[in-house]
Amino acid sequence: MTTNTITEQMTQAGQKIEHDSFAIVDQEVGAHNYETAEWAIVRRMIHATADFEFNGLTHFHKEAVSAGLQAIKQGAAIVADVEMICVGLSKPRLSHFGVSTHHFISDTDVITQAKAENSTRAVQAMRKAHSLDLLDGGIIAVGNAPTALLEVIRFIKEENVKPALIVGMPVGFVSAAESKAETELLADIPWITTHGRKGGSTLVVACIHALLALAEAG
């Protein structure tokens, strides 16, 4: 194990606040059934939202953490459904591992195709990512659009696409819970989800930052 420097806050004051926050979460959370590395992820998600319900709502494929760490250490691409995730992720932390981020939801060709097919931009964005060969071996990060997650699942089932990890946490009322339930049925593709309606880009960012910290530590 090493002492983290890249994935820590940049100032001692910032580090103290973050570490104190984690200690408060540990003190107040009560019982949980997560393994040590899984808890490091869930704790950061709770820290980012002040919502203790993610103790229990956060679900892990049995190989999720190990697959995520391997992908990060190999410099896998992160394909996000929305720009907010890419903006929220720390560029110095990503660049330390050679990890790139990609989102296509606002691209002109994506919007044009979505209108032409009466589909969503999120669906077309994932199709573009697939055409650029970014889904295979990539980390799929979905915090907003259930249709993006469902399209990735379709690629997995119909075209044998194999992402390294799916962080599937779309928030909302239409297909959000259902898309995550479908993700949790994937046996051979590792995933991390938030069960039910709760989710969001903030949680995806927190989850990936936790994975980056675990990758630096180990």
pLDDT band at 4 (very low <50, low <70, confident <90, very high): confident
Task: Return the number of other C-beta atoms located less than 10 Å from residue 107's C-beta.
Answer: 14
Q: pLDDT by residue (tens digit) across 118-172?
A: 999 999 999 999 999 999 999 999 999 999 999 999 999 999 999 999 999 999 9
> Is residue 2 a part of any domain in this protein?
no
> Is residue 109 a part of any domain in this protein?
yes
Structural domain total, the chain: 1
* CATH number of the domain bearing residue 62: 3.40.50.10230
Q: pLDDT by residue (tens digit) across 83-111?
A: 999 999 999 999 999 999 999 999 999 99
At residue 60, the pLDDT reads 98
> Is residue 6 a part of any domain in this protein?
no
At residue 6, the pLDDT reads 83
> Is residue 5 a part of any domain in this protein?
no
The reply to whether 47 belongs to the active site is yes
Report the chain's mean pLDDT, rounded to a whole number: 95
**Dist CA 169 CA 201 (whole Å):** 8
Report the relative pairing of strands 165-168 and 58-60 from DSSP bridges.
Answer: unpaired
Percent of the chain exceeding pLDDT 70 equals: 99
> Is residue 4 a part of any domain in this protein?
no
For the purposes of burial, counting CB atoms within 10 Å of the CB of 123, is it exposed (0-12), middle (13-18) or buried (19 or more)?
A: buried
Structural domain of residue 150, as residue ranges? 12-217
Contact 47, 206 (CB under 8 A): yes
Task: Please give the model's pTM, rounded to 2 decimal places.
Answer: 0.94
Q: Is 132 helix (H, G, I), strand (E, B) or coil?
A: coil
Angle at 54 between CA 51 and CA 56, to 5 degrees: 140
Q: Is 35 helix (H, G, I), strand (E, B) or coil?
A: coil
Q: Which residues contact 24 (CB under 8 A, 6 or more apart)?
A: none
> Is residue 175 a part of any domain in this protein?
yes
- Comparing C-alpha atoms, which of 38, 42, 10 is closest to residue 25? 42
Kindly tell me the number of DSSP H helices and DSSP E strands found in the chain. 11, 6
pLDDT of 79 strictly over 80: yes
Q: pLDDT by residue (tens digit) across 22-63?
A: 899 999 999 999 999 999 999 999 999 999 999 999 999 999
Would you say the C-alpha torsion 216, 200, 176, 82 has a positive or negative sign?
Answer: negative
At residue 1, the pLDDT reads 41
Higher per-residue pLDDT: 113 or 10: 113
Task: Return the number of other C-beta atoms located less than 10 Å from residue 204's C-beta.
Answer: 33
pLDDT band at 12 (very low <50, low <70, confident <90, very high): confident
> Is residue 3 a part of any domain in this protein?
no
> Is residue 31 a part of any domain in this protein?
yes
Angle at 64 between CA 59 and CA 66, to 5 degrees: 145
Could you say which DSSP state residue 204 is in?
Answer: H
Selecting among 32, 47, 96, 102, the annotated active-site residue is 47
